[in-house]
């Protein structure tokens, strides 16, 4: 008895329900959607301000004490570049 692919209708041999071309197409589509979902999840996580928790860190220990260079303000902390330059003059 002849078997046909359930997606495209081509005749196939063996016990499979799909031809090799359709299997590859389905795999590629699934991988593409999986990558898109992961990318969107990362973007949403960034919007919500979520952070990775660091293993072994005590609850009352802050991350800024272990990394003093992170306490220095960067340009994105200021409303304007002029405000940032004034801050640098005072620091330097």
- Tens digits of residue pLDDT in 14-69: 888 999 899 998 998 998 888 888 888 888 887 766 555 444 445 444 444 444 55
pLDDT value at residue 51: 56
More confident residue, 80 or 10: 10
d(CA 91, CA 84): 11
**Rounded Cα gap, residues 13 and 5, in angstroms:** 10
pLDDT at 64: 46
Sequence-separated (6 or more) residues with CB below 8 Å from residue 15: 3
Instruction: Give residue 56's pLDDT.
Output: 46
Name residues whose C-beta falls within 8 Å of residue 75's C-beta, 6 or more positions apart in sequence: 81, 84
Annotated domain spans of the chain = 1-48
pLDDT confidence of residue 65: 46
Bridge partners (DSSP) listed for residue 15: none
E strands within the chain? 3-4, 11-12
CA distance 31 to 33: 5
> Looking at residue 50, what is its pLDDT?
54
Distance CA 81, CA 87 (A): 10
pLDDT-based confidence at 11, cuts 50/70/90? very high
């Amino acid at each position: 008895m002849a078997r046909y692919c359930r997606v495209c209708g081509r005749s196939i041999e063996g016990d499979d329900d799909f031809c090799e071309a359709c299997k590859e197409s389905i795999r590629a589509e699934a991988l593409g959607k999986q990558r898109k979902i992961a990318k969107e999840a990362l973007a949403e996580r960034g919007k919500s301000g979520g952070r990775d928790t660091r293993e072994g860190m005590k609850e009352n220990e802050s991350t800024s004490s272990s990394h003093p260079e992170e306490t220095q303000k960067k340009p994105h902390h200021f409303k304007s570049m002029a405000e940032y330059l004034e801050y640098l003059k005072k620091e330097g």
